[in-house]
Amino acid sequence: ETYGKLNKDKTNAILILHALSGDSHAAGKYSAEDKHAGWWDNTIGPGKAFDTDRYFVICSNVIGGCQGSTGPSSVNPVSGKPYALSFPIITVGDMVQAQRHLVDHLGIERLFAVAGGSMGGMQALQWAVSHPDRVLASIPIATTSKHSPQQIAFNQVGRAAIMADPNFNDGDYYSGAVPKDGLALARMVGHITYLSDDSMHEKFGRRLRGKKTLGYSFNLDFEVESYLRYKGDAFVNRFDANSYLYITKAIDYFDLSLPSGALVKAVEKVKSKFLVVSYKSDWLYPPYQSKEIVKALMVNGVDVTYCEIDSRYGHDAFLLDEGEMSKIIRNFLENVAVRNKIAVPAGA
């Protein structure tokens, strides 16, 4: 999807990069009847961080996904059946290469900026490293240059839940029952990591759901239990289990320091200006991982700004911005535009 207008020089394009469960619908509603706007609607639009009165904003579904781009649920033209697990393993680099083809198709020589949180931040980093001449500014948010053992472990639990579902059928479930229980459980585990202890206390406490006393059974008692069940069930209705396997593997394999093994060397050819954002309460992608990125960039003389935001929302904070992140991004982009004499108004 795109928002705003591309200027005549094609210099005001911003590529928004989504996280694991995201898609190309980053902002707005398709109709007035839609219950929910795009996943980053609070930052994309007129006067917002990614101001569509000034910038041409692009967002596409990643390769391997299930919301428009080719993935394991897509039909293999040779067999006439969904690829399922015959789909090749993908990497974050593959996602970026697919996006590069899209940018080429749009006739855009250099992106004004790339931006994203979580897995989207990994893509923003990969863009700056793989295509240093095609990115003016990079904004990785709440992310890392490589997964820690803990981050890999959480993803493996989710994958194991999916593959242990009786309906998984080695990934070939498209003509029958889908592994909804396994996918729902994977989402429940994942969602816990997106929240902080403070946000869970504030949102749920130990409140009971629909009852006044404890049931002393294995039925759901607490609001937090019911919430996780709801999140898991809702996810099953919009996401493909195989895509979950492929995408989580891609981010586990992501290591920006490769092939040298040294992050400082990996970013030595970066030319874009950087804004790196982290959140104090984010224990999934803690601030130390963002600081490692900043340090490597600074060693190479890259123009980098680092902001650590005090939010109670944990990893989800980048999606639930209360205004501070948007202000930081808006000012950063304005500074980049002025310093590089970019005519960002849509009519320019």
Judged by DSSP in three states, 54 sits in coil
Predicted pLDDT at 170: 98
Mean pLDDT of 280-297: 99
163-175 pLDDT per residue, tens: 999 999 999 999 9
Q: Let me know if 101 is a catalytic residue.
A: no
pLDDT band at 341 (very low <50, low <70, confident <90, very high): confident
- Predicted TM-score of the model (pTM): 0.96
Please pick, among 23, 282, 316, 321, the residue that the annotation labels catalytic: 282
Please pick, among 21, 73, 74, 118, the residue that the annotation labels catalytic: 118
Could you give the CA distance from residue 247 to residue 240 in angstroms, rounded to a whole number? 11
Q: Let me know if 282 is a catalytic residue.
A: yes
Mean pLDDT of 177-186: 98
pLDDT band at 345 (very low <50, low <70, confident <90, very high): low
Q: Indicate the class that CATH gives domain 151-250.
A: mainly alpha
Listed by start position, the domains of the chain span: 2-146+255-339, 151-250
Please pick, among 69, 181, 315, 316, the residue that the annotation labels catalytic: 315
Mean pLDDT of 167-192: 98
Could you give the CA distance from residue 287 to residue 285 in angstroms, rounded to a whole number? 7
Predicted pLDDT at 348: 55
Mean pLDDT lowest among 135-139, 195-199, 320-324: 320-324
> Residue 45: left (phi > 0), alpha (psi -120 to 50), or beta?
left
Predicted pLDDT at 28: 97
198-222 pLDDT per residue, tens: 999 999 999 999 899 999 999 999 9
Compute and round to an integer the Cα radius of gyration of the chain: 21
60-103 pLDDT per residue, tens: 999 999 999 999 999 999 999 999 999 999 999 999 999 999 99
Residue 251, amino acid: I
Q: Does 344 have pLDDT greater than 70?
A: no
CATH 1.10.10.10 fits 2-146+255-339, yes or no: no
Q: Let me know if 181 is a catalytic residue.
A: no
190-195, long-range: CB < 8 A, 24+ apart: 190/20, 190/154, 190/158, 191/228, 191/231, 191/232, 192/228, 193/154, 193/283, 193/284, 193/315, 194/284, 194/314, 194/315, 194/316, 195/313, 195/314, 195/315, 195/316
